[in-house]
Each structure stands twice: as C-alpha cells, then as structure tokens.
Amino acid sequence: MNAATLLAINALILVGCFVLLWAICLKTRDVTPVDSFWAFGMVIMGLTSFALTDGLYERKLLLLGLCALWGVRLGSYMVWRWRSHGSDRRYVALLGKAEAKKGWGFGKASALLVFATQAPLLFIVCLPVQLGQVAAGPPLGALAVAGAALALFGVAFESIGDAQLVAFKRNPANAGKVMQSGLWRFTRHPNYFGDACAWWGIYLVAAETAPGVWSFIGPALLTWTLMKWSGAPTVENKMRKQKPEYAEYMRRTSGFVPMPPRA
C-alpha cells in the first residue's frame, strides 16, 4: 500500500472515531474525554498502519511499540485525571462562551471548537508512525536506535514529571503554592518537553525511510502547539493570575528545555 492510500484510509477511520466520540459526549455533555483520545487515537493510527502496510517488520514493530507506550501511558493518565478532577474547566469556559456570545448549542460548539480542531491536529502529529511503516527498507540503523532512545527518554521524563506534580498536589501543605522541585526545578513544563522528545524520537525512527523523512511536520507542529499555542501559554496565563509567585518562577526557570535555574 502506498503512502497516499494509507493516509486516506487512516483519515476516514479517524473521522469515524471522532464522530462516535462526539456522539457519546453529546449524551454526557462533557468533552473532556477528547484529551485522552488524543493519545489513544494515535495508537489507533499506529495499529491501522501496522495492519495495512508491507514495510520492514522490525521498523513497524518499533514504531508501533513506541507509539503505544507513549499513548497508553498518557491516555490512561488523562482518563484518571478526568475521573478524579471532573470536567476540564477550559472546555467548560470555551463552550459556555460560544453559547453566550454566538448562541451556539452544545452540539455545534463542541463539534466546531473541539472535535473539528483536534482531529486534524492528531492526524498530522502522528504522521511519523504512519509514514514510517510504508517502506520495505532500509534495515534499522543508527538513526532508529537514537530515535528509540530519545522517545523512551521522553516518555520517562514526562511520566516522572506528571508523577511529581500529582504527589505535590496531594499534599495539603502545598495548597496555593507553585511546583518548583524535581524536574519542575529545571523546566516549567517537563510533561510538554517529554512529549516533544517522544515524538521527535519516533520521527527519527521513521526518517530512515523515504516516506518517513517528510513526516517531520508532525513533531514540528506538536512542539509549536506545546510552546506557543494551546500548551504553555494557556497554562501560564492561568497560573500568573492565580499564583503571584509564578512570575518569579517563570523568571528563574526555563520554559521548555531543562536547564539549571537562573540566579
């Protein structure tokens, strides 16, 4: 199967999954599960690509394994956070604003503002795990080994960061305080940095093939959204308003790549 056919089939599968999820969310009137599907959906794209392509088996297995490790870990964490903390306030505010200012109902607002934006982003970001499985050669090389190492490092880094933040928030003594220890001492967003490392690593594995080389747009888009759009800016705007000491934390701590704190 060529790359164009694979992407067309995967796009149809992904649209079907998002329509089904949207229908479920219409019943519950809560779109928060889309966050966990962001991760699980990429695993689905990896699985369908694995089933439909005739590429090098070892590379296909490596790409699917790395994607599944990242996706199951993050997706499970997002499900846990949703069940523990309830609906995401960002979505509640977004949909409420659409209803108040534009007169949109829940169905229209959730479809256009949440699902119609998430689906194409998901599809593009996971291009490496799709296109990297198409070609029959070459065999795995040093670039794939480096990519696998970077992806594993990224998954470990964001997992540790998430665990440290959960432990910090569980301590009543930390109420109202800013997390500034562990990995959070060296970067304000260890979870985002780990995400980026994971997908740049997966890209390196895919980039040993001709179709996979062109999938760099996936991790590039992910990195941009985390640093400049829906990731860090959204979190930091809220934190600056809620916690006065966050401004000093921002001055002292790297925004993305881990570095020693500034004096």
Among 159, 185, 202, smallest CA distance to 65 is for 202
191, two tokens:
């979870």
Look at residue 141 in the predicted model and tell me its pLDDT.
97
End-to-end CA distance of the chain: 56
Whole-number pLDDT of residue 163: 96
Phi, psi of 40 (to 5 degrees): -65, -35
Residue 137, pLDDT > 90, answer no
The answer to whether 145 and 229 have CB atoms below 8 angstroms apart is no
Check residue 70 and give its pLDDT: 98
pLDDT at 263 over 90: no
CA 52, chain centre distance (Å): 24
Could you report the per-residue pLDDT of 98-125, keeping only the tens digit for each? 999 899 999 999 999 999 999 999 999 9
Residue 89: per-residue pLDDT: 87
Model confidence over 6-54: pLDDT tens digits? 999 999 999 999 999 999 999 999 999 999 999 999 999 999 999 999 9
SS (H, E, C) 94-155: HHHHHHHHHCCCHHHHHHHHHHHHHHHHHHHHCHHHHHCCCCCCCCCCHHHHHHHHHHHHHH
Mean per-residue pLDDT, 194-213:
97
DSSP for residue 88 = -
CB of 212 closer than 8 Å to CB of 132: yes
- For residue 124, give both structure tokens: 């593009």
Global pTM reads 0.94
What is the average pLDDT across 67-78? 97
Instruction: Output 30-35 pairs: Cβ under 8 A, ≥24 positions apart.
Output: 30/87, 30/91, 31/88, 31/91, 31/95, 31/110, 31/114, 31/115, 32/82, 32/86, 32/87, 32/88, 32/91, 33/79, 33/82, 34/114, 34/115, 34/118, 35/78, 35/82, 35/88
Check pLDDT > 90 for residue 237. Answer: no
Q: What are 169-184's pLDDT values in tens digits?
A: 999 999 989 999 999 9
Token readout for 101 is 């200012």
How is residue 127 written in tokens?
């291009």
Contact, 65 vs 47, CB < 8 A? no
pLDDT in the model for residue 230: 82
- What was the pLDDT predicted at 50? 98
The pLDDT mean for the chain works out to 95
| pLDDT for res 234 | 85
Look at residue 231 and tell me whether its pLDDT is greater than 90.
no
pLDDT tens digits along 73-97: 999 999 999 999 889 888 999 999 9
